[in-house]
A and B are shown apart, each in its own frame.
Chain A
Amino acid sequence: GAVVSQHPSWVICKSGTSVKIECRSLDFQATTMFWYRQFPKQSLMLMATSNEGSKATYEQGVEKDKFLINHASLTLSTLTVTSAHPEDSSFYICSARDRKRDIYNSPLHFGNGTRLTVT
């Protein structure tokens, strides 16, 4: 159980285009999902907290107009990288928390990540 599907697993796009990444919880509902960015051999950097039915909360230094987050349902959050540039190339990972679990003591369930390459 507790499967998170992230799609696509990799994408190559041209500079200036937009890319949408989907994160779906398959067998549980998630009022909260998190989006991370990871550079090679580095840790995960939290970009934003996605809240179902409300605006996302962005971490300091993350441009909300650049990284659009939509959490339209209890099982789907999307991250859109707008007007992508080569410096946006990275590994993006989502995670979700089961709304039925204790918020203080429950694990995060991760998607398998999306490798974005902007040429």
Chain B
Amino acid sequence: SQQGEEDPQALSIQEGENATMNCSYKTSINNLQWYRQNSGRGLVHLILIRSNEREKHSGRLRVTLDTSKKSSSLLITASRAADTASYFCATDGTSGTYKYIFGTGTRLKVLA
């Protein structure tokens, strides 16, 4: 399966703490994206990092990409209860099909 792996599968932290999630993938990529999903809802795009980029920031989000290790991390700083959701990484692969394969996801719970 092309599906990426994410760890941890579940993470529970206190409000104000930082949350770090990791994603590993298997094939060469054009870009890697992170999405958030609230329970029973669709996914919301958070951030896209291109294969030639190593780090990207957006508000409280920081994403790193290491193509040599085929891995990425998502850091959420100063977490809030509203950040409680599932987070997925997605990779497109360079096979030319332009479809995205999603990782297994990390369920984040931020306790108020």
Contacts and interface: CB of A to CB of B under 8 A. Distances in A.
Nearest to A48: B99
Contacts of B103: 43
Interface in B76-107: 88, 90, 92, 97-105, 107
Interface of B: 3, 30-31, 33, 35, 40-45, 48, 50, 88, 90, 92, 97-105, 107
Interface in A42-71: 42-44, 46, 49, 57
Interface in A20-51: 32, 34, 36, 41-44, 46, 49
Contact of A43 (B3, B40, B50): B3
11 contacts: A42-B105, A44-B43, A46-B102, A49-B97, A91-B40, A95-B43, A97-B98, A105-B48, A105-B50, A107-B48, A108-B43
Interface residues of A, number: 28
Contacts of A112: 41-42
B46 to A, nearest CB: 9
